[in-house]
């Protein structure tokens, strides 16, 4: 079954732009990205949109749909009533290049700042060993598809452009948490998390966890434990002493 939907799509570039309205056909089972592609092929051939996998795995098609950060390819049109206007705008936390495409290089710059995983030496039999619970924690964080929806929704950088110099954002807090809690990693990342990546800017609003398409518990499993580790380090003299003599 098909119907005609009303779409409002932001069109413009770094100089400015506005929402434009379109009436566009929707077929049963389609997602928002299908409708954007139909618009592109039938009405606005030069509409800029970034996408790749159409399977929720490449993280390219991030946008704001009716004000909520979402993947366009994973947002079913059945989410909306047939009479409901669907408004699609670019990620607000990042500079617009054109239409729905934003410049997300801030995120790659943050990724490059984090020191790489530095494993300790293998055991005598040539193996690395770690507990299953540590494997599972890493696996959860490594489900990240780098869609930047959490980065977009976090009010610390969304509403305060100037904070980007001090706070790397939730995606990088879980990268730091993953590595800092990794039993094989030898780099101590706690002071850097606080002093260089701005962990203290997060006030645990949990909006990042709510929009993550991979269902990563960014706040509960990553940011809060990382904050606890920093606090232990700074305010518990025994933990501090332990860290100085090589215990982690």
Applying CB under 6 A, the residues found at the interface with ligand F3S are 154, 156, 170, 202-208, 219, 223
Nearer to ligand FES, 60 or 110 (CB): 60
> Per-residue x/- mask for ligand SF4, residues 152 to 191, rule CB under 6 A?
-------------------x--------------------
* 101 lies in the site for ligand SF4, by CB under 6 A: no
Segment interacting with ligand FES, rule: CB under 6 A, options 54-62, 132-140, 200-208, 238-246 = 54-62
d(CA 173, CA 180): 10
| Residue 62 vs 209, nearer CB to ligand FES | 62
Minimum distance between the CB of residue 112 and ligand F3S, rounded to whole angstroms? Answer: 20
Please identify, using beta-carbon distances, which residue of 163 and 239 lies nearer to ligand F3S. Answer: 163
Of 32, 61, 63, 174, the one binding ligand FES by CB under 6 A: 61
Residue 218 to residues 81, 107, 153, 204: CA-CA distances in angstroms?
A: 31, 16, 13, 10
The smaller minimum CB distance to ligand SF4, of residues 7 and 172, is found at 172
d(CA 210, CA 217): 9
> DSSP readout, 142-193?
TT-----HHHHH-HHHHS-GGGGGT---HHHHHHHHHHHT-TTB----HHHH
Contact 232, 168 (CB under 8 A): no
Kindly state the number of chain residues that form the binding site for ligand FES, as judged by CB under 6 A.
12
In the list ligand FES, ligand F3S, ligand SF4, none, the entry touching 56 (Cβ below 5 to 8 angstroms by class) is ligand FES
Q: 171 or 227, CB closer to ligand SF4? A: 171
CA distance 77 to 59: 19
Token look-up 């939730």 returns: 170
Give the span between the Cα atoms of 8 and 90, in whole angstroms. 12
Give the pair of three-digit tokens for residue 73: 């390819």
Residues 6+ apart with CB under 8 A from 153: 69, 93, 207, 208, 210, 211
Give the residue, chosen from 150, 173, 177, 207, that forms a contact with ligand SF4 under the rule CB under 6 A. Answer: 150
> Residue 46's Cα: distance from chain center in Å?
27
> In the complex, which residues of this chain contact ligand SF4 (CB under 6 A)?
144-150, 171, 211-214, 216, 218
């Amino acid at each position: 079954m098909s119907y005609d939907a009303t779409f409002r799509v932001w069109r413009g570039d770094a100089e400015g732009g506005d929402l434009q309205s379109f009436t566009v056909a929707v077929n049963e089972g389609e997602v928002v990205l299908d409708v954007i592609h139909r618009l592109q092929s039938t009405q606005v051939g030069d509409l800029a949109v970034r996408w790749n996998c159409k399977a929720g795995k490449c993280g390219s098609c991030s946008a704001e749909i009716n004000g909520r950060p979402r993947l366009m390819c994973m947002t079913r049109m059945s989410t909306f009533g047939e009479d409901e206007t669907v408004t699609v705008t670019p990620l607000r936390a990042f500079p617009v290049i054109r239409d729905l495409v934003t410049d997300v290089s801030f995120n790659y710059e943050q990724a490059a700042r984090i020191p790489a995983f530095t494993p300790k030496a293998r055991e005598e039999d040539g193996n690395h060993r770690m507990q299953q619970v540590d494997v599972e924690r890493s696996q959860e964080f490594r489900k990240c598809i780098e869609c930047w929806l959490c980065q977009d929704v976090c009010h610390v950088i969304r509403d305060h452009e100037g904070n980007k110099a001090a706070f790397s954002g939730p995606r990088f807090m879980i990268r730091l948490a993953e590595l800092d809690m990794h039993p094989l990693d030898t780099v101590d990342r706690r002071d850097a998390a606080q002093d260089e990546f701005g962990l203290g800017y997060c006030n645990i609003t949990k909006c990042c966890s709510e929009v993550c398409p991979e269902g990563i518990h960014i706040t509960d499993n990553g940011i809060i434990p990382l904050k606890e580790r920093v606090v232990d380090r700074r305010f518990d003299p025994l933990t501090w002493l332990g860290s100085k003599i090589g215990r982690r």
